[in-house]
Structure 1
Amino acid sequence: MDLELARKILAEQPFSRLLGARITAFGEGTASLELDVREELLQQYGFVHGGVLSYAADNTLTLAAGTVVGSGLITSGFTIDYLRPATGRLLRAHGEVVRAGRTRVVSRCDVVTVDGEGTETLCAVAQGNIAVIEPVAGKG
Structure 2
Amino acid sequence: MTGLDLPMARKVLDSQPFSELVGARITAFGDGAATLEVDMRQELQQQNGFLHGGVLAYAADNAITFAAGTTLGPAVLTGGFSIQYVRPATGRTLVAHAEVVHTGRRQAVVRCELFAAAEDGERTLCAVAQGTVLSAAAPSA
TM-score by length of 2: 0.93
How much does 1:4 deviate?
1.7
Tell me the SS of whatever aligns to 2:62. helix
- Match of residue 16 from structure 2: 13
The 5 A counterparts of 1:1-140 are 1-134=4-137
Kept after mapping to 1: 8 A contact 2:51/2:88: yes
Distance 1:101 1:122 in 2: 29
Distance 2:41 2:7 in 1: 26
How much does 1:35 deviate?
1.1
RMSD of Structure 2 on Structure 1 (CA) = 0.9
Distance 1:94 1:114 in 2: 12
| Amino acid of the structure 2 residue aligned with 1:57 | A
Tell me the SS of whatever aligns to 2:7. helix
**Following superposition, which runs of at least 4 residues in structure 1 exceed 4 angstroms of deviation?**
none
5+ residue gaps, structure 1, are 136-140
Tell me the SS of whatever aligns to 2:88. coil
5+ residue gaps, structure 2, are none
- Match of residue 138 from structure 1: none
Distance 1:124 1:84 in 2: 7
Distance 1:117 1:4 in 2: 27
Distance 1:118 1:134 in 2: 39
Distance 1:49 1:63 in 2: 22
TM-score by length of 1: 0.94
How much does 1:134 deviate?
2.2
| Amino acid of the structure 1 residue aligned with 2:67 | A
How much does 1:103 deviate?
1.1
